[in-house]
Chain A
Amino acid sequence: MGKLLRVAIQRTVNAIITIFGIIVLNYLLVRLMPGNPALSITPRDPRYGDLINYNFRLFGLDRSPGEQFLIYLQRTITLDWGVSYRWNAPVLDILLRDLSWTLLLVGVSTIFTIVIGMVVGSYAAWKRGKPFDFMSTGLSIFLYGMPIFWLGLMLQAAFSPSFRPFSWWPTLPNKFYYDDRLGAWIWDWAHVSSTMLHLILPALTLSLGSLAGISLVMRSSLMDVMTEDFVLTARAKGLTERAVLRRHIFPNGLPPMVSLIALDLAFIIGGAYQVEVIFSYQGIGYRTIAAINDLDYPLLQFIIVIGGAAVVIANLISDFILLKLDPRIRIA
């Protein structure tokens, strides 16, 4: 297993370099934002005049840019991320809590997406050319290209109290219930059930677009594999169609899908940002938009890094899964 380990380490190192790159990029971007950062962090109340100077020195704005960068780096690594001026709480705490909410949303959606998406895609590939294939493919392309924020709005409207075509049509909450004191993982039944209920619409919005994408990719990948010669060999061996699918087509169809999902991850997380804003779901996305609008500098400084790091780590994990699935990659 030496080869496997070596490739795994190589990928991890790449990921770390990428995250570092994100940190640098983030630093540059935020520094380029208009306005004196010190002024941005401090509320514009004359009472806080001293605070400006304090912040000024805290961020080392009186030093050279190079030194500023080093200070930034040091603070990043030591997890000393300051205090959000808008929310008046340590940035680290805010981000961790938001991350847990976002993970909940993305996690639930992703599971739903992958399971349903794979089933639909596989069935469409199996029955290619038949009506189910046309319909599901057409519908998938339709959903995939739909702007998520609009889909969210539509779903909100569809399940709002003012729109009830039938008496049994459910009304689903369109704003997320958020108790400041609780985190995402409290196991109180009332809390959990309320969370689940409020999660339905946002998760659905996020899932539909990705589900469409996955089913398209799955179908495409399986159809690619079906034309391969070794599938003919498998049939020639006297295997049943089902066995051919299970043992030869599927295992070969999966790796391309995993790598394509990984690539799509940045877009999926971008979608989560939109969903959070629409539904006032206070996760990383919501916080990011709010931070930009408020020019909440301390928060801004790290939230982009968190978002980017999440994508990199997700990609790394899928890389590992891919390594296990496809032995050919271990050579490359």
Chain B
Amino acid sequence: MALLEVRDLVVEFTTEAGTVHAVEGVSFELEHGQALGLAGESGCGKTTTALSLMRLLPSNGRVVSGSIRFDGRDLVKASEETIRRIRWNEISIIFQGAMNSLNPVQRVGKQIAEPIVVHEDVEVSEAMRRAGDLLELVGIPARRISEYPHEFSGGMRQRVMIAMALACNPKIVIADEPVTALDVMIQAQILELLERLKRELDLSMIFISHDLSVLAETCDRIAIMYAGKIMESGGTVDVFTDAKHPYTQGLVGAFPDVHGRRVLPDAIPGTVPSLISPPHGCVFHPRCKYAFERCPRAEPALATTTPGRRVACFLYPEVAEVPARSTPLAKP
């Protein structure tokens, strides 16, 4: 039984310009002690998926259908109270851009200790002591708990976010673009830190990034997202060395090979589709060089080709069509 099981998650946003279909039937699992990577371009729905796990969507967003099974409970149907208790205590999240994710007028130690005090019945002094320990864990001297966020550098702030995320010993840590805003040297340090913590604390992680190289380093399994759907998933090495979906192939191929010939890699032609009126059929078909007659007509479902490997592309015989849904997509 997987630690986290997401099935056919559908998330929508209501905006002035129309309904945005941000997540369109996403399914994946997270096993205990595993690191799952969610890869994809900006705006493909990775962050929205992560936020829906903890019911942190903004007021104009909602989960339309699907299930999120965590520890035997369905988080979509759970009560507010249950969700509040799960937040941070069992699932925590490291946001992108820690500069804005920390309260600028509150001392760092207090912010780290805050969830501890909220969720566990401990004295404030005890919580502050633990905050100091957590800082040490991420490589920051404990005495800095009395400092303010602006007194830390970018990389340090990200470490503080990590320390804060671990405050209540959660089962799952979601890292949303944790190193994107940092320079390469600091990136390496933070990634190393995350790997070490995952090992030492036996964490299960969901790693969100648009940077495939980062995911390749840190994740055991990976799921490639595009326009709100998962195109392909499987073991990281497997997916990268033997990419099945044309989109994945395009992504992987976009990395110039250090050892290969000196050519500019092929870009994937076209642009990301509008999520308000997505293309009919396979959402990637307008940009796909292998597209054939079936592609614009029906939507490929995510199906297993070999154990542990899944693709959503009609090129593979195992892939069936997605049954028609109640929310119609754009007309062809």
Interface residues of A (CB under 8 A from B): 228-230, 232-240, 243, 247-248, 251-252, 255, 325-328, 331
Q: Say which one of B61-69, B90-98, B201-209, B249-257 lies at the interface with A.
A: B90-98
Give complex CA distance A238, B87 in Å.
5
The answer to whether A230 and B102 touch (CB under 8 A), given A238-B85, A238-B87, is: yes
Main secondary structure of the interface of A (DSSP, over half): helix
Contact between chains at A232 and B87 (CB < 8 Å) = no
| A230: nearest chain-B partner, CB-CB | B103
The answer, among A235, A243, A252, for a CB contact under 8 Å with B103, is A252
Report the minimal beta-carbon distance from B48 to chain A, rounded to whole angstroms: 13
Report the minimal beta-carbon distance from A262 to chain B, rounded to whole angstroms: 18
The answer, among B89, B95, B97, for a CB contact under 8 Å with A238, is B89
Give complex CA distance A49, B100 in Å.
73
Chain B residues within an 8 Å CB radius of A236: 54, 56, 87-88, 92-93
Chain B residues within an 8 Å CB radius of A327: 104-105, 148, 150
The answer, among A232, A247, A251, for a CB contact under 8 Å with B95, is A232
Proximity bits, B142-159, A CB within 8 Å = 1, else 0: 000000101000000000
The answer, among A233, A235, A252, for a CB contact under 8 Å with B105, is A252
The answer to whether A230 and B89 touch (CB under 8 A), given A236-B54, A238-B119, A239-B114, is: no
Report the minimal beta-carbon distance from A2 to chain B, rounded to whole angstroms: 15
Chain A residues within an 8 Å CB radius of B93: 236
Give complex CA distance A331, B119 in Å.
34
The answer to whether the Cβ of B118 comes within 8 Å of any Cβ in the partner chain is yes
Chain A residues within an 8 Å CB radius of B105: 251-252, 255, 325-328
The answer to whether A252 and B104 touch (CB under 8 A), given A237-B115, A238-B88, A328-B148, is: yes
Chain A residues within an 8 Å CB radius of B100: 228-230
| A239: nearest chain-B partner, CB-CB | B118
Contact between chains at B85 and A233 (CB < 8 Å) = no
Contact between chains at A328 and B150 (CB < 8 Å) = yes
The answer to whether the Cβ of B277 comes within 8 Å of any Cβ in the partner chain is no
The answer to whether the Cβ of B84 comes within 8 Å of any Cβ in the partner chain is yes
Give complex CA distance A1, B102 in Å.
23
| A240: nearest chain-B partner, CB-CB | B84
* Size category of the binding interface on chain B: 20 to 34
| A227: nearest chain-B partner, CB-CB | B58
Report the minimal beta-carbon distance from B178 to chain A, rounded to whole angstroms: 13
Chain B residues within an 8 Å CB radius of A248: 103, 106
Give complex CA distance A239, B84 in Å.
7
Give complex CA distance A237, B97 in Å.
17
Contact between chains at A328 and B103 (CB < 8 Å) = no
Contact between chains at B89 and A233 (CB < 8 Å) = no
| A235: nearest chain-B partner, CB-CB | B56
Report the minimal beta-carbon distance from B222 to chain A, rounded to whole angstroms: 24
Contact between chains at A328 and B56 (CB < 8 Å) = no
Chain A residues within an 8 Å CB radius of B106: 247-248, 251
Known contacts A238-B86, A252-B103, A327-B148; can you find 16 more A-B pairs with CB under 8 A?
A228-B100, A229-B95, A229-B101, A230-B101, A233-B101, A236-B88, A236-B92, A236-B93, A237-B88, A238-B118, A238-B119, A243-B118, A247-B106, A248-B106, A327-B104, A327-B105
The answer, among A230, A238, A251, A328, for a CB contact under 8 Å with B115, is A238
Give complex CA distance A236, B87 in Å.
6
| A248: nearest chain-B partner, CB-CB | B103
Give complex CA distance A234, B114 in Å.
9
Chain B residues within an 8 Å CB radius of A255: 105
Give complex CA distance A119, B179 in Å.
41
Proximity bits, B100-144, A CB within 8 Å = 1, else 0: 111111100000001100110000000000000000000000000
Q: Which of B54-84 contact A (CB under 8 A)?
A: 54, 56, 84
Report the minimal beta-carbon distance from B71 to chain A, rounded to whole angstroms: 16
Report the minimal beta-carbon distance from B238 to chain A, rounded to whole angstroms: 32
12 A-B pairs within 8 Å (CB atoms) are namely: A229-B101, A230-B101, A230-B103, A230-B104, A232-B56, A234-B103, A238-B115, A243-B118, A248-B106, A251-B105, A325-B105, A328-B104
Chain B residues within an 8 Å CB radius of A235: 56, 87
Chain A residues within an 8 Å CB radius of B118: 237-239, 243
Contact between chains at A233 and B102 (CB < 8 Å) = yes
The answer to whether A237 and B104 touch (CB under 8 A), given A229-B95, A232-B56, is: no
Chain B residues within an 8 Å CB radius of A232: 56, 95, 101
Give complex CA distance A325, B148 in Å.
13
Chain A residues within an 8 Å CB radius of B104: 230, 252, 326-328
